[in-house]
Amino acid sequence: MKKLVISFVLIALVLTGTAIAQDAEPQAGGTLRAAWQARWESLDPHFASSEASFQVLNNVLETLTFFDDEMNLVPWLAESWERSEDGLTWTFALREGVTFSNGREMTAEDVKWSFERLIDPAIGSGNAWRIGGADTAIEVVDDTTVAITTATPIANLPSSLAANKSTAVMASESVEEDGTVNVPIGTGPFVIAEVEGTTRLLLEARDDYWQEGLPYLDAVEIIPITDDTARDLALQGGEVDWIFTISPQNLETLQADEDVIVDTAPRLAYDYFGLNLNREPFDDVRVRQAIAYAIDREVICQFAFFGLCEPTHGPTGSGTPWYFPYAPYDRDLDKARELLEEAGVGDGFTMQMMTAIGFDETLRGAQVVQQQLAEVGIEVEIENIEFSEWLERQGAGEFDAFMLSWLGLTDVEDYFYLQHRTGNSFNFTGFSNPEFDALVDEGRTIDDFDERYAVYEQANQILVDEAPYIFMYVKQEVKAYAPHVHGFGTRPDSANNFWTVWLEQ
């Protein structure tokens, strides 16, 4: 019987441009100038929800467990862990001698405080579910041992802790008098030294980091450049050393540029648009299915991300072991019109689609969807807005539809549980299906891969059939940087880990 192991066989990274000497000796010093795709919305790990925020925190905060560059689960702030016979308690032995950036030693009390703040209903973190929610008990066994007991078994809890920095260990001194966290104090390789709103951020290296000799850089200067082409030009012009992602239509041009390195990897993510099930006519499954039948995913993939993507009808793509090939929505305009007629909207209707500035592929994708849905009488009005407003309106339910991607999906429950289970804070569509809920709840308790796969396969079919999300494609992870940047690994989970990066002087 095959046990669940969080390990992915990566397709070899595609490396183009000037060759890097693999045996070169890392050099210490220098500042990496990095251009983000979007602005960070919060630096509090318990409130952050965007990739832009988590990728800052990724270099400041650390978790008990970690995914290495081959996506194997490895010890990090915890050196080992074990599970009780009843499956409810996970006990972690902490690494000794780890300090926070303020010089204080990390202990089990800090783990307890961090996790209890994460699951506090008054905080309302959307990631509380990763350690079981408000009913979870965290016990300090001794200074270097902590036990986590959940109300129901969570078979993959160690890997859940590694998924993002919401489950990081943070010093309680991070909290201001008003209860907010503006600059978190972590155990990571960098500290947040300067923050200029959402226009500039400076990470400075620690000289007392627990991993001896790291980081190599003195600092990382982060600025958001939300226009894809402008970001590419900033890299080619030498204004920045590294960019979050490229404009996909410029791939061949960048690959041909001797002053640019382009890396790609399979991405653990999906691109989609969500529908507001609390609004008519999207509360009718026939309308949602009609929309799913009316779009052409191949065409959307080509225009939105210039073919650097794999069309999909569900959330999982072929780059994950949790791929489910169920694909019922080959384009069928007659079927779409028939379903709209049955739902009483055969004459068509108008809907708004939110896209986000800084994510150009969402605007391009929405424009294709706009053209395709017009063929069945659905008029789409596109609202391309600042990402901060996009997040605010999504959270308040003030939308008909919104388009974006969901990424960093290291485990099957990341694809299904977080955004789709009834009542979860990231379930913005309002989708609720008792059978689906029962399946994803059961899936969390199973540690055998085959048994777990069978459970989520059922959940996948329900989700695709109910269509609260219209899944479009899974794109490639693409990073680009100057040839003097060494030691960066492009990862399927999109994590930007800068502590191994060094600059050729």
Q: Please tell me whether the peptide bond between 281 and the residue prior to it is cis, using omega within 30 degrees of 0.
A: yes
Per-residue confidence band for 1, with pLDDT thresholds at 50, 70 and 90:
very low
Kindly list the domain boundaries of the chain, sorted by start residue: 28-42+52-59+188-260+482-505, 61-182, 269-477
- C-alpha dihedral (202, 224, 498, 260), degrees to nearest 10: -130
Residue 23's pLDDT is 58
**What's the rounded Cα separation, in Å, for the pair 14 and 300?**
24
Closest C-alpha among 214, 168, 159 to residue 190? 214
The rounded distance, in Å, linking the Cα atoms of 100 and 121 is: 26
Report how far apart, in Å, the C-alpha atoms of 330 and of each of 165, 180, 222, 405, 462 are: 38, 48, 42, 21, 17
Q: Which of 275, 216, 223 is nearest to 25 (CA)?
A: 216
Q: What percent of the chain has pLDDT over 90?
A: 90
pLDDT tens, position by position, 192-239: 999 999 999 999 999 999 999 999 999 999 999 999 999 999 999 999
Task: Tell me the pLDDT of the chain averaged across its residues.
Answer: 93
Instruction: Tell whether the model's pLDDT for residue 20 goes beyond 60.
Output: no
Identify the band that residue 2 occupies on the pLDDT scale cut at 50, 70 and 90. Answer: very low
**Pairing relation of β-strands 89-94 and 78-83?**
antiparallel
73: pLDDT strictly greater than 90: yes
Residue 505 has pLDDT above 90, yes or no: no
Work out the burial of residue 423: count CB atoms within 10 Å of its CB; fewer than 13 is exposed, 13-18 middle, 19 or more buried. Answer: exposed
Instruction: Give the integer Cα–Cα distance in Å for 161 and 430.
Output: 26
Q: How far is CA 450 from CA 70, 130, 320, 444, 457, in A?
A: 22, 22, 14, 13, 10
pLDDT score at 425: 84
Q: For residue range 350-393, what is the model confidence (pLDDT) as tens digits?
A: 999 999 998 999 999 999 999 999 999 999 999 999 999 999 99
Residue of 373, 290, 378, 371 lying closest to 337 (CA atoms) = 290
CATH of domain 28-42+52-59+188-260+482-505: 3.40.190.10
pLDDT per residue over 409-423, tens digit each? 989 999 999 899 999
pLDDT in tens, 264-275: 998 999 999 999
Do 28-42+52-59+188-260+482-505 and 269-477 share a fold?
no
Selection from 228, 253, 265, 255 nearest residue 243 by Cα: 228
CATH of domain 61-182: 3.90.76.10
Q: What is the mean pLDDT of residues 136-149?
A: 98
* First-residue to last-residue Cα distance in the chain: 52
Report which of 304, 232, 305, 317 is spatially closest to residue 267, judged by C-alpha positions. 317
Give the pLDDT of residue 24.
84
Tokens 């053209």 belong to: 371
* d(C-alpha 37, C-alpha 50), whole Å: 11
Structure tokens at 376: 């069945």
SS3 of residue 233 by DSSP: helix
* pLDDT at position 15: 35
Question: Using 50, 70 and 90 to split pLDDT, how confident is the model at 13?
Answer: very low
CA distance 469 to 401: 9
Looking at residue 16, its pLDDT comes to 34
Residue 482 pLDDT greater than 50, yes or no: yes
* Helix, coil or strand: residue 337: helix
Contact 352, 369 (CB under 8 A): no
pLDDT range class, residue 407, cuts 50, 70, 90: confident
Alpha carbon of residue 185 to chain centroid: 22
The answer to whether residue 86 scores a pLDDT higher than 90 is yes
CB 167 within 8 A of CB 130: yes
Full-model pTM: 0.86
Sign of the CA dihedral with 51 first, then 52, 53, and 56 last: positive
Token reading at 481: 């940087």
Residue at token pair 């609390």 = 278
Residues 386, 391, 393: CA angle, nearest 5 degrees: 95
Q: Is the pLDDT of residue 63 over 80?
A: yes
**What pLDDT does residue 7 have?**
38
**Among 364, 355, 83, 393, residue whose Cα is nearest residue 249:** 364
Q: 429-453, pLDDT tens digit by residue?
A: 999 999 999 999 999 999 899 999 9
Whose tokens are 């605010």? That residue is: 392
Q: What is the CATH number of domain 269-477?
A: 3.10.105.10
- 381 three-class SS: strand
- Strand runs (DSSP E) across 177-239, as ranges? 190-196, 200-205, 219-224
Mean pLDDT confidence for 310-333: 95
